[in-house]
Amino acid sequence: MTIYPDFTLLIQMANFLILLFLLNMFLYKPIRNILAKRNGEFEKLTRLIEEMRKQMEERQRRIEEALAQAKKL
């Protein structure tokens, strides 16, 4: 018994390509968009945290300087 490709193989290939197209349109692209948005928010928050850390270090330095000056008096 030998198996030869026939017309149903072409139909199956077309179905597979249609499935790939639909999955890409309705599943993969929206998920990629959500992940990209989430990544952008993460980077934004990371920059904000770094900026706040620098402000905290500057304030801590000022407090230490004020304490050092107060101890001198």
In a domain, 58, yes or no: yes
In a domain, 7, yes or no: no
Copy the structure tokens of residue 34. 């959500």
More confident residue, 20 or 4: 20
Copy the structure tokens of residue 28. 């993969």
In a domain, 59, yes or no: yes
Which is nearest to 29 in space by CA: 38, 21, 19?
21
Report the domain count for the chain.
1
Q: What is the pLDDT of residues 7-59, one digit of tens each?
A: 999 999 999 999 999 999 999 999 999 999 999 999 999 999 999 999 999 99
In a domain, 49, yes or no: yes
For residue 19, how many other CB atoms are within 10 A of its CB? 10
In a domain, 66, yes or no: yes
How far is it, in rounded angstroms, from Cα 22 to Cα 39? Answer: 25
In a domain, 55, yes or no: yes
In a domain, 2, yes or no: no
In a domain, 67, yes or no: yes
